[in-house]
Chain A
Amino acid sequence: MATNPLHQFEIIPLVPFKVAGLNLAFTNSALLMILTVLISAALMIIPMRRAAIIPGRWQNIPELFYEFIQGLVRDVIGPSGMRYLPLVFTLFMIVLLGNLLGMLPYSFTITSHIIVTAALGVGVFLIVTVMGFVNHGWHFLSLFAPSGLPKFIYLILIPIEIISFLSRPITLAVRLCANMTAGHTVLKVFALFSVQMGIIMGLGPMIMNSMIVALELLVAVLQAYIFTILTCVYLKDSVELHH
């Protein structure tokens, strides 16, 4: 029996596969990632096959998500940020479904592994940097030097701004990963209390656990929202300078 609360984060190879010393096994993490992509795509494509002007019950699902993210992008980045909408929307759906699918019993939370969230965070960071240089050229570097300060201040301020800029992907990655890991570990710890305290006494932790499940559902949605809104805030720098 899995008495280790961290057992749920273990990566298990489902289909072992090795090429030239590289372990390319199809793992539970890969399975959940594929499921995340398939479900998010299905949620968007299937209800929109017969799109009507007056949305039906199923058509409301993609429209709800779309309008939510569209509003977010327009509010945070501005009208010129609408070309980032596909990127932001994809990120939101993947993080949200990755978080929510992890809430199913016996499943695996892909966002609880820092390498997954770090890949997302670094991806966002690279896109901001590249798009900043594409949009503004070398002028993008003025992001690190706010205008209107005494000259000698820049000597300290520019390194600080650069470090602050470089710390963004770390914040993005660690926040999502830590939140998911912490919540799921707490769930397992309380479940173990229940098991060890027997049927009658164990009801206490079980009631507590069911409340934590509700909290975890909130955290799953909230962290996807926070990841998305921070992505938008960072993307804003690549659209317009002088925030």
Chain B
Amino acid sequence: MADSAAADTAVWMTADDARRRTAVTPVGAADDDELVERIVDGDERAWGELSRRHLGGLVGYAWHMLRDRAEAEDVAQETMVRLMRKAETWEPGGAKVKTWMYRVAINLCIDRQRARRTTSLDAIGEQTDPIGGAQIARDLALKKAVGGALDDLPPRQKQALTLVHYQGFSQQEAADALDVSVDALESLLARARRTLKNTLKDLADDLLEEW
């Protein structure tokens, strides 16, 4: 009995300690689930922290998919709006917040791609620093070639490569975001890399000699 009472006390103390720790955890140290809980409680700092963590990644992902900065920002903003709405009913311990956000962004990008059917490779040039000279011309040529090769990939391969290479997702995270198995994701990555190596082989020989 005494042991049982002690065990019960230990459990209650642990839960209580956990609540206290949660209450004092700085927003920067809180995980995404906890930030969402705080957002529901009206903590604007939690919202700011969650935005700081993910907004850049969302813009980056959408830009790689759409090659248009304004549209990428629209996608990122819409994703955050949907997260704000979802926060009300968010169930901690289920899907990761990050995975959920990228699923939303992936679908928003697909919708926009279907709507326009073309990508604007000219927009890639807008990212180049306006310094001028041969170096700039070479960088621009490289970006257009690489961007074109990426945009020619089948959509699922491009999504997989973008999540893993540009967004730094683990294989498991990317598989979750794309709702495929890890093995299927790795197959998508392998096919994408093989295609890109073949497509960009000549370019690599020409442009990367000085690298």
Same complex for A and B? Answer no
